[in-house]
Every structure is written in C-alpha cells, then in structure tokens.
Structure 1
Amino acid sequence: MLTTTRIQNAEEKLSKASQEINNRYRLGYHIMAPANWINDPNGLIQFNGEYHVFYQHHPYDENWGPMHWGHVKSKDLVHWEHCRVALAPGDACDKDGCFSGSGVDHDGKLTLIYTGHHYIDKEKDLFYQNQNIAVSQDGVTFEKVGENPVIAEPPADSSHHFRDPKVWKHDDTWYMILGNSTKDDVGRVILYRSSDLRNWEYIGVLAQSDGTLGYMWECPDFFELDGKYVLLISPQGIEEKGDLYKNLFQTGYLVGEYDYNTNKFEHGSFTELDNGHDFYAVQTFLDDKGRRIAIGWMDMWESDMPTKADGWCGALTLPRVVTMGSNNKLLMNPVEELALLRETEHEVSTNQIISGSYLAEIKEELLEIKATFDLKNTSAQSVGIKIRGIEQEEAVLTYQLDHQKLTLDCSKLGKEKDGVRNTILEESDQLSVHVFIDRSSIEVFVNNGQATMTSRIYPREERLGIELFTENGDVKIEEFTYWKLKDVWK
C-alpha cells in the first residue's frame, strides 16, 4: 500500500473516532491527538515562524500499536492546529513502526529523522531497528527518501535497542545521538556524524550507565546551556530508591563538559527532571528567542489510563523553558506565552495571615494559580494548597518546613494505587507555587523551577475550589491569585 493511502486511511479513522470520544477528561490547553493513542513528543522545531510538534501516535486504537507520527503546529505555543498524519509505517525501511526521532531545517526543508521498527517475532518481542529520513517541501506533507535506511544497523557491540535519533548541527557537521544498550544490557547513548544527513560515521559512546542507571536509555537529547553540556535521557530499569525513581521509567539529565574533538563528556550524577507521576521522553528545541524549550509525554507506561475507555489516551506537557540554576541544576518554568490563556484574573488575597485553612470557591476546571507563602515568619510545621472537589476528592500539595519536603498527593483524585510523590527543596525564605490545572492534569512549578511535579488526575466530582492551608501554626500569604483559562480546542 502506498504511503499516501496509509496516511489517508489513518486520517479517515481519526476523523470518525474523534466524533465518538467521551470528552469528560479531554484537556483544554494541552497537545492531544484528535482521538486514540499518543506517547513521546518528536521532531520539535521552530520552522518558518511556526512551532511544530510531532508525537508517537496510533491512529487506529486507544492502545499503543504500530507507531505513526501525529503533527500539530502553532504560531504562539498556545493555540495548536492539527495537521495531517506526517509518517505512516509499512515501507521496507519502517515495516512495523515509525518510532521517535527529531526534526531539523536542512537547506530550507523540514526534515525528519526517525527510527524504523521491524519485528522478527512479535510474540517474543524480537525486533531490529534502523534510522530513516523524510523530507517536506511545505512543512506538512513528508516523503521518505530513497536512501533509507540511512543507518541500517547498530554498532557490533550493541543490543537490538537502537532508536530515538536526536540530530543537531555544530559548525558545518550534523551530529546524531541514539538511545542504545550493550549486548549485556547496559544503557548508553551513542554518537554519529555526517556532512549531508545521508552518510553517517559512527564516532562512539557519548555516555554509559555505571550499572545503576538501567538497561536502556531512551529519547536522548544533547545541548549546550550556559557554557555547560546537558544530556537528557529516559532510562528504563532504574531501581526505586526511597523517594527517587518511583515511576516505572524516569527522565533526567547529566551535566558536564564536552569536547567535540575527542568525544569526551565528563559529567556529574543523574538527576530526575520532574518529580511527579506522569513525565517521560522529554525533548527540547531552541527557538528564535534563544530559549531552550522542553515538552514531555504527560503519562507513564503501565499506569492506569482511564481515558482509554473514552476513546483516546495520552497528552503532552505544557512547553517549558529550561535554564541552568546553581550547582548544575536544571530549572523548568512555563513559557511566558501561556499568559495568552488567561480569561479572568482573581486576586484573592495579599499579605494575609492564615491559620488552618482559607478556601476560595471556584467551579472552573481550567485554572492557573499563583501562591506565595512567607516562610521567614511562620510558626506552621507545613503549608500547602488543595484542589478540592465538592465531597471527598482533592489533590494536595504540602511543604513540610522541617524536612524541606514537597509532597504531591493525588490518591484522592484518580491515583488510588500509587498517589504520592515527594521531592526535597533548597532552603528558602518563601514558597512560591505556580500551578496549572487542566481537566485531567496538574503541573506544579515551585520556587522558579527548583522543582516541578507533573501528574494526570481524573476527577469524578464537580470542583469546590482552591484551599490554602497550614498545619500547627500560621503563615503569611504574600500572594494568592488565580486565572480562569480558556479552552483552545473548543
């Protein structure tokens, strides 16, 4: 079957499926497919003045299946437009899936580099993977090149895991990193280079697990930030350790120094990038304002996904600006364009002392909240925010001052089995909390990106409101403001 026919079939299926989905948990201002399954963000790029985001997509079912590339674009990172499916599998180079990859501007053409997936024995999950290219003249319709696969097989010491190319240009040379593992299941990232995107030379290993960082490193990304080099990876197989690595798989980073001449990357230890339940496979790109912008998959493998019953599954996080903080810590904050979502502003209180709780009754589902607690002059043991339903439901964000521990508890809002996530904050005179609530998600940004926590939530009750609270003492609220946000998909 021709690629164009496969894409038309996928579009027809999506159009029909989108008429039948249940909208109870459909997000108001996040990237989703019109219907059915999505996972990893792919090919993030600003091209000809528009932001393009692609994503792993199964247009025929609400469960994971043969991977296509879905596609949205935007002029402002807020108002997204669905484009036609960009890639469909089934050619000799990508028989069983067009897996994750990246997008670049090559000679003025939007060019996608992606992994072709091929089953040897699907029942036993035996497969091989290669790397391919597709090119667009108009930024919407893509043609796979005749030279595919441009990298037919992994290095000799590699396992069959060989995927998720991230490609960038340094000086006049293209570089590609790939997620990979050794034959004895040690996760690593390997590096290639090319002058033309077609002929690739294997350079070697960029970074490798010391034995504690899992059997496979997915979705790598590598970039310079404030004079340091950052390697983002999504390792599979790290063992849980206290409050760390609580999700099935993680996304995090290594920061250090890199030399292109020697391919030596000297780096520090692995740090998780987000401490919520649902953040994986993050990718970044540089925009024309010089910002390093990150978007992740806002779900987690093998977690409960109630939206499957509604005919869709999966979403992407809000776009976040990544900056370098002190001690090589990456900070993430929402892009400033998200202020375009604000419809009405409600300044609830400033410089008010509370003890116990203070409730702002709000029925709205789509909200942005900013609250700042003065920690210098407080007698409270802990402070926080609750997003409350009219009866039992609530998502609770608590900061314990003596342990500097921040806790997000969603166990009464759709995550009954494994609802709690914790992280430690640096000591500070204030707790500044910036929260985005959508119909089935919560994204928390604390102290200008010192911590982020991203989780899916699944309310069944109507909303009661936002409650600020203290335990065993009082606290001054320096600011408490919320905004009703618009639904960009309506």
Structure 2
Amino acid sequence: MKSINEINDKAIKSYMEDKQFDDWKLNYHLEMNFGLINDPNGLAYFNNEYYIFFQWNPFDCEHKFKHWGLVRTKDFINYSIPKAVLAPDDWYDKNGCYSGSGIVIGDKLNLLYTGNVKDFQGNRSSYQCVATVDKKGNIVKKGPVLDTIPEGYTPHFRDPKAYKMGDKFYFVIGAQSEGLKGCALLYESADFEKWSLVGKINTKYKDFGFMWECPSLLNINGTDILIFSPQGLEKEEYRYQNIYQSGYILGKLNYNTLDFDHGTFEELDLGTDFYAPQVFKDDNNRDIMIGWMGLPEEENDHMTVEHGRVHCLTMPREIFIKDNLLYQKPVEEMKDLRQEVIAEAEGVICTEWKSENTNDNSYEINAEIDRLNADHIEIKFMGIDDEYSKLVLDFKNGTGILDNSSILNGPKSIRKFKIEKDEKVSINMFVDKSAVEIYLQGGRYVLSSRIYSKNNSQGIIISSNEEIKINNLNLWSMGGFKYE
C-alpha cells in the first residue's frame, strides 16, 4: 500500500495538470480525480475554514483501503487540493479508517472515527478512535478511546457522531443487535477520553432494517432530530426505492430515559444517489448537511469507473424545519458560481417553454410556476430528443416521477414519490455534467441522481397538459470549484 505522501503527490500532480477529462467530470461537486469517494466525515468549521473529510479509497473503485481524505474551504467555491490525511496503517484501523465526525475542543479539531479490523477468517472488530488536528494542520492519531462493543450487539458498530450539550460530550453510533435489528446507541463523556454507554435510543422503530449507519443527533430550535441510514427496508412503490435509505425522525429525546417521542421516518432525498449524510453547524449558526452522492454496492453501474474514479459528494445544503418537516436548500455561496444568464422568463403563459442551450450540462434553473388549470407538468433535461431525463409532476394524483430510463449510458432508473397538490410549483435544479440535484417546493422534496448523458445531449423543456403561467424563471450557466 502506498504511503500518504505518495498518494498526495499523485493528487497534487493530477490537480495541477491541465488534463482533459471525460464528458462526465464534475464542475461543482466534490469528486476525486482517482479512486472511490463515499461518506462525508468530520465536517466542522475550524480555524476560520470549513473542513470536509471523506472516505476515500485512492487505489481503486472498490470499498477497500479506506482512508480519510480532506479538503478545506472558506467559501465553498475555492478548495484546497484533496489530500489523504488518515491511513489504515495501525493495528486498530488496519482494515479501514471508517466513518466518524469532528468536534472543536479548545484550539484543536478532534476527530472520532471507527477503526475497522478483520482477522484471516473475516471476523470483524470495531474500535472507536480519536485523532486531532491543530491550527497548523498537523493531524495526529491518538488511538482507541472505546475498544469494546456492548453486550447484545454485533461488531457492526460504527460511525460515531460527536456533539456537546451542557458540560458533557456525547456521541451517537450506529449498531446492530444480536437479533440483527438496526438501532442507535448513545455514549457520554466528561473529557472526550473516557466514554460510558448511556443506552439505546428508544424509538418507535423496533424492526426497521438490519443496520443503522451514520446516525446524527442534533437539535434545531428546540426540536431533536435523529438522522440515520437504515439498511434492509423493504422497497415500496413510493418509498424506500434505493438499495439503502437515508432519513430522519423529528421529536423530543428524553436524556434520562432515552425515550424518543417522534413522528414518522421521512426520507431526506428521493433520487437514485444519496446516502450517509452528515450535519454540522457553522459560525453563522447554519445547520449544513453534505451527503454522499452514491450508494454502496452499486459502483459498476457508473460510467466513470472505466476512467478510474467513482462517486462524489452533494452540494452543501442548509437544513431547516418547516411544517414539522426538514427542508433543504443549497447554501447561499453556490450562487457565486452563476455565470451568464442563458434564458429568462417572466409572466409567460404557455403549454411549453424550451431552451436548447444549456452550456454543456453545467447550469442552474430556478423557476416559479402557477399551474392554473394544469394538473400535469413535465420537465425534460439533459437532452430533449433521442436522449433525456424527465421529471413528471402529476398534481391530480399527487405523485412525482424522476425517469432516467431514456438515458443511453449508465443505469436506467425510475423513482416515484408522493407530492402535495399545491397550486404553485417552485423548482431549483442544478445540472453538473453527470450529477443532478433537484429542489422542489422550496426544498420540501429533494432528488439527487448521477445521470450519464452524452455530451451533446443538452436542452430543457417545461411542458404541461394545460396552460401554465411562468411567474419567473432564470437559467444560468455555472462555473466550477477551484483547487489550489
């Protein structure tokens, strides 16, 4: 296995070269120039910068040799060159530096992650480990702070998310009971060194998948939120359509009894590619979420594998509570990537609106539409003739469909979801070469998908079964992240 220095020399060279990538290389989503990227980790605002760590196999497009990579940014536009900072090179993480979190304590950023260890028979051991980052960027591994798994649980015990409340530190961690049921456990500490089990968080979901990965416990304006990624939910027509899901429950957690009084589990993203999100709070008191724009066990479906890389992260999103639901919107800084106005409309009544110039599929469209008597609105994008994706909103039946079955390259897919029968439609869609993020109704519904259209498959059409009124619409070409 190559050393961190060798990996980073390759990374620096790849980002400094004026290299011609394939048609699917992303402009404004974080992806690596080589290897596999998955879960965002250790998200934190530290030393006047955003620290974005992530799982990274820098050697291949497989889930092996998990390192932690890191990029830093002050503005979500200009980034440091991605580098490997944690390697699986100690006895307690030799089979992977698995997911974890970051928390600022004093003048250091403390990282808490799972060290994965397997013996020759494939038996797994799980260690919760600490590393520290100082203000000069030096990262030091401290080793395990928790080396046992509580009785009644399997070694599928990982992804600690740390936070502080009052004078205590806590972390919530994903677990699997010996009865093969997913759940989340809570630990506490006075000093971030000695940890004790508080217990299992008691939810209404006693039999909800075989494992809960990447849990986060946070509070927004007095409401407790448990975000987690359950594995093993049965697919339904309008829910749970991916191999694994990510979602949340809202309510109130009693820290004395660990009883969580909450509502129903809601999926965070209804597209084909979203998993393992993590949330952190920045210096402006924003709750920012970044997710993995991919799913486990589906790497070979992606066209970029043949070019030696796979997956990316979502754009950073601000989350907030409205109508007892989590809404999501891209952080304001993404507006700084807008370039020329490709098209605009205001007060236009029509049954079809079209733009064939979408700047090599790197654009943002923001529109508000009064549907008048129309109950069916369709948006074709990433091509409008022989190849295209389409979003269909059927307000008569209260359903939506993201249909990628007409795309020629990569996986073909259809995702169905329920929508409310609103009179107005708001859509904010970001197309980035081979990544699409769609925010509907002010972020009430979000869909993220990797879509590998041909480079010349461009254009966008909004059509309806009856006249609609486009109150306002703006279509911008989008620039890209800069790395230095």
| Band the TM-score falls in, shorter-chain normalisation | over 0.9
Distance 2:331 2:200 in 1: 33
The equivalent of 1:65 in structure 2 is 64
Distance 1:41 1:292 in 2: 15
SS at the partner of 1:481?
strand
SS at the partner of 1:412?
coil
Matched, 1:217 2:216: no
The equivalent of 2:426 in structure 1 is 432
- Among 156, 180, 192, the alignment partner of 1:185 is 180
SS at the partner of 2:144?
coil
How far does residue 278 in structure 1 lie from its aligned partner after superposition?
0.3
The equivalent of 2:328 in structure 1 is 332
Instruction: Provide TM-score, normalisation by structure 1.
Output: 0.93
How far does residue 254 in structure 1 lie from its aligned partner after superposition?
1.1
How far does residue 9 in structure 1 lie from its aligned partner after superposition?
2.9
Which residue identity lines up with residue 220 of structure 1 in the other structure?
A: P
How far does residue 302 in structure 1 lie from its aligned partner after superposition?
2.8
The equivalent of 1:476 in structure 2 is 469
The equivalent of 2:316 in structure 1 is 319
Q: What stretches of structure 1 of length at least 5 have no aligned partner?
A: none
SS at the partner of 2:334?
helix
Q: Answer with 25-34 or 11-20: which moved more.
A: 11-20
Distance 1:271 1:383 in 2: 25
Matched, 1:341 2:316: no
How far does residue 335 in structure 1 lie from its aligned partner after superposition?
0.8
The equivalent of 2:364 in structure 1 is 368
How far does residue 69 in structure 1 lie from its aligned partner after superposition?
0.3
SS at the partner of 1:149?
strand
Q: CA RMSD in A?
A: 2.0
Which residue identity lines up with residue 374 of structure 1 in the other structure?
A: D
SS at the partner of 2:344?
strand
Matched, 1:161 2:160: no
- Among 362, 381, 387, the alignment partner of 1:387 is 381
- Residues 209 and 300 (structure 1 numbering): CA distance in 2 closer, same or farther, change over 3 Å? farther
The equivalent of 1:229 in structure 2 is 224
Instruction: Indicate conservation of the 8 Å contact 1:190/1:207, yes or no.
Output: no
- Residues 60 and 15 (structure 1 numbering): CA distance in 2 closer, same or farther, change over 3 Å? farther
Instruction: Indicate conservation of the 8 Å contact 2:107/2:135, yes or no.
Output: no
How far does residue 206 in structure 1 lie from its aligned partner after superposition?
1.4
Matched, 1:140 2:153: no
Aligned pairs (5 A) from 1:426-465: 426-465=420-459
- Residues 391 and 425 (structure 1 numbering): CA distance in 2 closer, same or farther, change over 3 Å? closer
Distance 1:409 1:374 in 2: 23
How far does residue 94 in structure 1 lie from its aligned partner after superposition?
0.9
The equivalent of 1:92 in structure 2 is 91
Distance 1:335 1:292 in 2: 10
Instruction: Indicate conservation of the 8 Å contact 1:83/1:140, yes or no.
Output: no
Distance 2:409 2:290 in 1: 23
Distance 1:201 1:244 in 2: 36
Instruction: Indicate conservation of the 8 Å contact 2:364/2:428, yes or no.
Output: yes
How far does residue 26 in structure 1 lie from its aligned partner after superposition?
1.2
SS at the partner of 2:185?
strand
How far does residue 208 in structure 1 lie from its aligned partner after superposition?
5.4
Distance 2:63 2:136 in 1: 26
Distance 2:141 2:102 in 1: 13
Distance 1:83 1:39 in 2: 14
The equivalent of 1:269 in structure 2 is 264
Which residue identity lines up with residue 421 of structure 1 in the other structure?
A: R
How far does residue 63 in structure 1 lie from its aligned partner after superposition?
2.1
Q: Which runs of 4+ in 1 moved over 3 A?
A: 12-23, 207-212, 414-418
- Among 122, 128, 132, the alignment partner of 1:131 is 128
How far does residue 182 in structure 1 lie from its aligned partner after superposition?
0.3
SS at the partner of 2:335?
helix
Instruction: Indicate conservation of the 8 Å contact 1:372/1:478, yes or no.
Output: yes
How far does residue 464 in structure 1 lie from its aligned partner after superposition?
3.3
Which residue identity lines up with residue 133 of structure 1 in the other structure?
A: V
The equivalent of 1:287 in structure 2 is 282
Which residue identity lines up with residue 354 of structure 1 in the other structure?
A: C
Distance 1:296 1:139 in 2: 27
SS at the partner of 1:389?
coil
Deviations 1:223-269 (A, max 9, x none): 01121100000011111022210000000001111122333322222
How far does residue 390 in structure 1 lie from its aligned partner after superposition?
6.4
Distance 1:291 1:474 in 2: 39
- Residues 394 and 60 (structure 1 numbering): CA distance in 2 closer, same or farther, change over 3 Å? same
Which residue identity lines up with residue 428 of structure 1 in the other structure?
A: D
SS at the partner of 1:65?
coil
How far does residue 348 in structure 1 lie from its aligned partner after superposition?
2.2
Which residue identity lines up with residue 381 of structure 2 in the other structure?
A: I
Distance 2:74 2:464 in 1: 42
Q: Count residues in correspondence.
A: 478
Instruction: Provide TM-score, normalisation by structure 2.
Output: 0.94
The equivalent of 1:102 in structure 2 is 101
Matched, 1:258 2:257: no
